[in-house]
């Protein structure tokens, strides 16, 4: 029985993997067997980190909001609770951007939150 090598189909498959491994270091970029492993692992990292990126950005936004809140005499949780009481519906991404680029506007939001907290404390007492 004759040997079947796969011809154009195998060549296309190899070319696809080698193209995906472009830019890798050493034999990972030009040796099919090693490139397959590298591309597969890269795919696993990409899949994992697409989910991880959402967590990481949320953490960053919270840190930035907390820094802005503390500069205005509040903690992060107090600020967020006060904004909720004041019916200010801004997500963390927007709040973070305001905290960095528009400190006066963020101070106004913090003032609004602290006023809402004070009003709530009076109502509770």
pLDDT by residue (tens digit) across 28-72? 999 999 999 999 999 999 999 999 999 999 999 999 999 999 999
> Is the confidence at residue 125, as pLDDT, over 80?
no
- In CATH, 9-124 is 1.10.1900.20: yes
Quickly state the pLDDT bin for 94 (edges 50, 70, 90).
very high
Whether the predicted model's global pTM rises above the 0.75 cut: yes
Measured CA to CA, the distance from residue 27 to residue 22 in angstroms comes to: 11
Chain CA centroid to CA 100, Å: 17
- Mean pLDDT score, 88-116: 96
Local structure of 24: helix, strand or coil: coil
Best CA proximity match to 65, nearest among 108, 27, 20, 110: 110
- The residue count for the chain: 125
- Mean pLDDT score, 78-93: 96
């Amino acid at each position: 029985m004759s040997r079947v090598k796969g011809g154009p189909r195998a060549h296309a498959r190899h070319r696809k993997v080698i193209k995906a491994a472009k830019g890798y270091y050493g034999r990972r970029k030009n040796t099919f067997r090693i490139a397959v492993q590298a591309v597969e692992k890269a795919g696993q990292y990409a899949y994992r980190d697409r989910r991880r990126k959402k967590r990481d950005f949320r953490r960053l936004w919270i840190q930035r909001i907390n820094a802005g809140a503390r500069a205005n005499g509040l903690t992060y949780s107090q600020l967020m609770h006060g904004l909720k009481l004041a019916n200010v519906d801004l997500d963390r991404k927007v709040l973070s951007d305001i905290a960095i680029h528009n400190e006066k506007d963020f101070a106004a939001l913090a003032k609004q939150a602290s006023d809402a907290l004070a009003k709530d404390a009076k109502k509770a007492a």
